Structure 1
Amino acid sequence: MRVIAGKARRLNLKTVPGMETRPTTDRIKETLFNMLQPEIPDCRFLDLFSGSGAIGIEALSRGAAFAVFVEKNPKACACIRENLSFTKLADSGKLLSMDVLQALRSLEGGESFDCIFMDPPYRQDLEQQVLAYLADSSLVDEHTLIIVEADLDTDFDYLDSMGFAQLRSKEYKTNKHVFITRKEN
């Protein structure tokens, strides 16, 4: 796994040993960031369920102003620290080693994020829990783009009732990216 583009281009990233995380493949990451490219320069990026930190690091490499990484697995946190240090992007990143909902509560009251990416463990409805929290959070404004990586079977039919709209979905062989924003009033 490597950084695809930007300041840290071609640098290899460490991954978390074992099967607890599913690193996003380089091909899917490249497709994702091609779609996100207009949003990334100077943005505030939130990477939830960060794993190795590859998505947030890609955002920083491509010009995001700041990224917050949220991960509770201690081995993954060590991996994120190493990857931030190796890519020389540590000054632009902040790691919160805690549960995602706990981290969101700790960030409440600060600036909203431009992009929020989450890749929660599949089939545990964690994306729905996080979106339910974000529906009334100061971390999301009318310009925030939320991207959820989920398995192909994950249903997002509840978005409307939470005040969100699905902008689009990009499907791959085994998973998909769903692009979400707050509905306009």
Structure 2
Amino acid sequence: MRVIGGMHKGRKIKSLKGKNTRPTADIVREALFDILGGKIAGSRFLDLFAGTGAVGIEALSRGSESAIFVEKSLEACLIIKQNLENLALTEKSRIIRDDAESALKNLLKQGEEFDIIFMDPPYSKNKIEPILTILRDFEPLKSIIVIQHAEDELFNTDGFLCYKRKKYGKSMLTFLIRE
């Protein structure tokens, strides 16, 4: 796997062996960052269900001011750490080993603010709505929320405006903002 854009374009990043994670495909990452465009530079980026950290690393490579990676798996957190060290991005990043709901609640209670929140939970495991409920109840929320999910996965977006959806194979990117 490689970084596909920005100052680290072409640099290799490690991924996990096996099928416990599903790294975001290059074509999906490229489309994601094409859609976000100029919103990346200087942004504060949150990568929930981070896996290898490829999406957050891509954001940093493209000029994001900072990125927080939230991942429950110790093995995945170690891979993210190695990738950040190899690209000299540790000063702009933080890794939180926790489940996404708990970490998000804690981050918001601590006053953390994010310009972009990306989540790529395990498909069809009902992980999206609990995260959206936390974000729905948080005032003020000005983040762009991007969800990568299975094309047939349904979830309640009440309180949010869906301003874009793009399908890539069996994956879908849904872009939300607060109504």
When normalised by structure 1's length, the TM-score is 0.93
Aligned-partner SS, 1:7: helix
* Residue type of the alignment partner of 1:136: D
What residue is the counterpart of 2:41 in the other structure? 41
Letter in 2 for 1:172: Y
Task: Select between 105-114 and 57-66 the one with higher mean Cα deviation.
Answer: 105-114
- Cα deviation 1:5-39 (Å, max 9, x = unaligned): 11211111100111111011112111111111221
Deviation string for 1:45-68 (max 9, x for gaps)? Answer: 000000000000000000000100
- TM-score, normalised to structure 2, is 0.96
Distance 2:23 2:57 in 1: 13
SS of residue matched to 1:30: helix
Report whether the alignment pairs 1:173 with 2:169: yes
Structure 2: unaligned runs, 5 residues or longer: none
- State the partner residue of 2:98: 98
Q: Would you say the 8 A contact 2:118–2:146 is kept in 1?
A: yes
The count of aligned residue pairs is 178
Q: Following the alignment from structure 2 to structure 1, what is the Cα–Cα distance between the partners of residues 31 and 20?
A: 24
Task: Tell me how far apart the structure 2 counterparts of residues 25 and 120 of structure 1 sit (CA, whole Å).
Answer: 14
Instruction: After TM superposition, list the pairs within 5 Å mapping 1:19-168 onto structure 2.
Output: 19-108=19-108, 109-138=110-139, 141=141, 143-156=142-155, 158-160=156-158, 163-168=159-164
User: Partners of 1:4 and 1:92 in 2: how far apart?
Assistant: 19
* Paired letter, 2:175: F
Identity %: 41
Inter-partner Cα distance in structure 1 for 2:74 and 2:18: 13
Counterpart Cα distance in 2 of 1:17 and 1:173: 22
Contact 2:2/2:13, CA 8 A, preserved across alignment:
yes
Structure 1: unaligned runs, 5 residues or longer: none
Code of the residue aligned with 1:15 in structure 2: it is: S
Deviation of 1:137 (Å): 2.1
Q: Return the alpha-carbon distance in structure 2 between the equivalents of residues 31 and 164 of structure 1.
A: 22
Mapped partners of 2:176, 2:38: distance in 1: 16
Residue by residue, what CA displacement relative to the aligned partner does 1:154-181 show, whole Å, maximum 9, x if unpaired?
123x212xx1111110001111000001
Q: Distance in 1 between matches of 2:153 and 2:163?
A: 16
Counterparts of 2:117 and 2:32 in 1: how far apart (Å)?
13
Distance, in Å, in 2 between the alignment partners of 1:44 and 1:24 is 20
Q: For 1:6-21, list aligned pairs within 5 A.
A: 6-21=6-21
